[in-house]
Structure 1
Amino acid sequence: MSTQQPTRREPEDNPGKDGRTDSPQDSSPSPGARISRRRLLGTAGAAGAAGLVAGGAAGAYAAEATRSDPEPLTSVGSTTVSFHGRHQAGITTPLQAHGHLVAFDLAPGADRKAAAALLRRWSRTAGQLTEGEAPPDDTGIALDAGPSALTVTFGFGRTFFGRAGLKEQLPEALAPLPDFASDALEAGRSNGDLWIQIGANDGLVAFHALRALQREARGTARLRWQMNGFNRTPGATGHPMTARNLMGQIDGTNNPKPSDEDFQRRIFVPATGEPAWMAHGSYAVVRRIRMLLDSWDHLSLERQEKVVGRRKSDGAPLSGGAEDTPVRLDKVNGDGSLAIAGAAHVRVAAPASNQGAAMLRRPFSYHDGFREDGAPDAGLLFIAWQADPMKGFVPVQRKLDLGDDLSRFLRHEASALFAVPGGCAPGEYVGQALLEG
């Protein structure tokens, strides 16, 4: 899981068309940005609210709880993330509170030309929505809300290329994922021709984007599956913290960081990569992983920590230190036992245990009600980003299959792999180099 960060997002390189450099994908509203109906209510209050989001918010929000007057948008609502840039947004963007994952299959008779028209429509609408603008024929679902860090990310599944007559452009890295021992996959909730990831810090804003894009797919693509997820809302803690999963564990401490020297090489396809249309893109592995929470919750705290290899309270490795202290896999306790057990999750998943294999995990939690036995149908919508799945997700998952204590409490029920091309400049659309090249 990716590290939870403040509402303001880290800048990214976003060179535009013809090699020029656009402004970074800053999360703050740009001074010259258009003020839409959705943003009009709150831009004046954004600066004052920023301090609340950074810290001390709990008391302030409690004091305001009994007010009946409408409040202006806070910095959470007014945050924008540009749709345009070298990379698509939603990959290194800080985790949002609400997410939708949706896959489509091309409708019978829909060809390459129809797919290009759809991606053109989708990109235009996503660009409007991420700026807080209502597209034509808007439903009004989020009319009075700000953009709330909305991101929309598009990808192509392996089956898309055959159906669109683009087999010669199929990337080698989009080969089917191998079977894993932990798989219990449902075909109807796996794979797909086209994929959209939507994230926002407001639930109505996220649903608004989902609805707008689904409407525009009519006649060209049919819904295959859809999943809904959530994370902690930015500003809900006294200071920025790594997110917790539904097992209560701090999750994402060991994620690659944009400041790492090899981050770009691990996560993004290079400009000279193959195929050429995937330059600056990435590959997303999507897995719906149900957690056996009833079984997990019955473990003692000590046992839970040994299964994971980190303290539950603060995420510090059992080899000592604080959350960000590097894990010492060679650390031995006074009785001669390994401080981090041989089958502990952090040991088995560590890059040092997998010839340096790493991926950027940026998931959402989910809860889809309860199963017939009363157990929660809940877990993780796992999304892993890497330049090559065979060097990122696949070797790590194979290692986890061989002996990870945490795997006994997980069920992998859906799986998909998508090629996510680089971003686009204003006036262009995502996938244009593929569909018009």
Structure 2
Amino acid sequence: MSPTRRAFLAGAALTALAGCAADPAPVGHPALRRPRRAGAVAFLRTGAAAPLLELRGEPDVLVGLGARLAPGTPGLTAMPPFPGEVLIPERSNTDAFLQVEGDDEEECRERLAGLLAALPDARATWQTTVRRDTVDGGLQRNPFGFVEGQTNSGSVLLPTGDALLAVRVIRLAHRSWDADTPEHHRRVIGRHPDGTWLDGAPAHADPGYAADPTGAVIPLDSHVRAMNPRTPGAPAPRMLRRSWAYQAPPTAQGTPDEGVLFMAFQDDFGKGFALAQSRMAGDALHPYLLTVGGGYYAVPTAG
């Protein structure tokens, strides 16, 4: 990174308070570091990858390059259309994706603004602050109140040391969800809110699907069972999830714009995100979700 740009970025970071300060012990790739409690993200249109690549070494910064900016990345394409989504162009298949993390949303928003100011050839088409609600053991509670993330894969890097990243902006139908009963919620997810399985197995244990072949206890169309049936010929999607809650202003029509910014690192979209997405049609959680944006990106290592 040039001395001038490094000085600018350092100054921009210092204008934010300690809530978006860097993790004191960052690691080489963003997929492998401990996620922070808050952040800010932006989808970008730009024709130049080099200025974005200069940000790779900045602590708690993630740079994602779309297929046009990283044409040599194995397996990287534009995200294909999936059934049921209603994509907003400003949030979909952009040239790049940028994220900063920290401990306070507003301070991360300010730091992101400083980084964007150092990218004069890039235009942010949509940006928002994000947050994570974590519980003991490093797991996360989603906006519907259920602990998730027990089946993350640890193998997500390409031989180059980079990773593929799927990003999805998913609105949640809170009104419909809240109108249903807690018992229905548990059967839709397939777990209790604390993460334990409906058959009584602990959160980190395998469920007893073999003893429940018809789904009498854990329904066959529950979210956890639809995504990972644990049957021969139905492998678990291989990806590392980093979900974030977001809340943006309502749409011009008054529709609430809040939900999940879903991020999944992987080394093969076909064995990771795309495999999970192919199972969504049979997922009882699907009616409560509306995907309005996202894309496929390459995330380079910080080195």
Q: Name whichever structure is richer in strand by fraction.
A: 2
Check the 8 A contact 1:177/1:394 in 2, yes or no.
no
1:365 Cα deviation from its structure 2 partner? 0.4
Q: Which digits, 9 at most, give the CA deviation of each residue in 1:3-50, with x for residues without a partner? A: xxxxxxxxxxxxxxxxxxxxxxxxxxxxxxxxxx97xx9xxxxxxxxx
Structure 1 residues 88 and 351 mapped into 2: Cα distance closer, same or farther (>3 Å)?
A: farther
**Residue pairs, 1:246-265, within 5 angstroms:** 246-256=143-153, 263-264=154-155
Closer/same/farther in 2, CA of residues 213 and 373 from structure 1, 3 Å limit: closer
Q: In the alignment, which residue of structure 2 is the partner of 1:344?
A: 222
Matched with 2:34 is 94
Distance 1:201 1:362 in 2: 16
Paired residues of 2:40 and 2:101 also in contact (CA < 8 A) = yes
Q: Given the alignment, which residue of 170, 173, 186 partners 1:305? A: 186
Which of the numbers 268, 274, 286 marks the counterpart of 2:157? 268
| Structure 2, gaps ≥5 residues long | 1-12
Larger Rg: 1
- Unaligned 5+ runs, structure 1: 1-36, 42-72, 131-150, 162-168, 257-262, 271-278, 425-437
Task: Specify the SS of the correspondent of 1:340.
Answer: coil
Contact persistence 1:286–1:415 (CA under 8 A)? yes
Deviation string 1:236-258 (CA, Å, 9 cap, x unpaired) is x6x445221111111212223xx
Paired residue secondary structure (2:279): helix
Which residue of 135, 142, 151 corresponds with 1:245? 142
2:165 counterpart SS class:
strand
SS in 1 for 2:140: coil
Q: Of the two structures, which has the highest relative contact order with CA contacts closer than 8 Å and spacing of 6 or more?
A: 2
Moved over 3 A (4+): 76-79, 369-376
Correspondence 1:421 to 2:300: yes
What SS does structure 2 have at the residue aligned with 1:390?
helix
Q: 1:399 aligns with which of 254, 279, 282?
A: 279
CA distance, structure 1, for counterparts of residue 204 and residue 56 of structure 2: 38
Q: 1:116 aligns with which of 45, 50, 68?
A: 50
Matches within 5 A, 1:288-367: 288-312=169-193, 314-332=194-212, 338-350=216-228, 352=230, 354-367=234-247
Partner of residue 30, structure 1: none
Which secondary structure state, in structure 1, belongs to the residue aligned with residue 280 of structure 2?
helix
2: CA distance, partners of 1:197 / 1:103: 9
Deviation digits for residues 334-366 of structure 1 (CA, Å, limit 9, x no counterpart) = xx7521111111001116353232211101101
Q: Does 1:411 align with 2:270?
A: no
- 2:129 corresponds to which residue? 228
Give the aligned partner of residue 275 of structure 1: none
Which amino acid in 1 is paired with 2:63?
F
> For each residue in 1:176-202, what CA deviation from the matched residue of structure 2 results, as whole angstroms up to 9, or x when unmatched?
333221211112211222221211113
Q: What code does the residue aligned with 2:81 have?
A: D
Kindly indicate whether the alpha-carbon contact (under 8 Å) linking 1:293 and 1:375 is maintained by their aligned counterparts in 2.
Answer: no
Tell me how far apart the structure 1 counterparts of residues 205 and 245 of structure 2 sit (CA, whole Å): 26
Shift of the alpha carbon at 1:420? 1.1
The 2-side partners of 1:306 and 1:208 are apart by 41
Q: Give the conservation status (yes or no) of the 8 Å contact 2:56–2:301.
A: no
Q: Which position in structure 1 is the counterpart of 2:4? A: none
> Aligned match of 1:198 in 100, 103, 108?
100
TM-superposition CA deviations, 1:377-434 (whole Å, max 9, x none): 2110000110111111101110112x1000011001102110112221xxxxxxxxxx
CA RMSD of aligned residues (A): 2.8
Question: Is contact 2:169-2:292 (8 Å) kept?
Answer: yes
48, 73, 80: which is aligned to 1:178?
A: 80
- In the alignment, the residues of structure 1 paired with residue 260 and residue 88 of structure 2 have an alpha-carbon distance, to the nearest angstrom, of 16
- Say if 2:51 and 2:119, in contact at 8 Å, map to a contact too: no
- What are the superposed Cα offsets for residues 210-260 of structure 1, whole Å, 9 maximum, x if unpaired? 022101101x2222322321113x7xx6x445221111111212223xxxx
Which residue of 2 is the match for residue 104 of structure 1?
Answer: 44
**8 Å CA contact retained: 2:56, 2:62:** no
In 1, the alpha carbon distance for the partners of 2:93 and 2:143 equals: 25
Q: Is the 8 A contact 1:255 1:361 kept in 2?
A: yes
Aligned partner letter, 2:46: L
Give, in angstroms, the shift of residue 298 of structure 1. Answer: 1.0
2-side partners of 1:77 and 1:101: how far apart? 16
For normalisation by structure 2, the TM-score amounts to 0.84
2:32 counterpart of 1:159: no
What secondary structure does 2:271 align onto? coil
Aligned partner of 2:161 among 257, 277, 280: 280
Residue 385 of structure 1: aligned partner: 265
Which of 195, 204, 209 is equivalent to 2:111? 209
Identity value in percent: 27
**In 1: Cα distance, 2:148 partner to 2:287 partner:** 18
> Which AA in structure 2 matches 1:159?
R
In 2: Cα distance, 1:217 partner to 1:369 partner: 25
Where in structure 2 are the equivalents of 1:34-45 lying within 5 Å? Answer: none
For 1:212, the aligned partner's letter is: G
1:77 Cα deviation from its structure 2 partner: 6.5
Q: Equivalents in 2 of 1:241, 1:81: separation in Å? A: 17
User: How many residues align structurally?
Assistant: 287
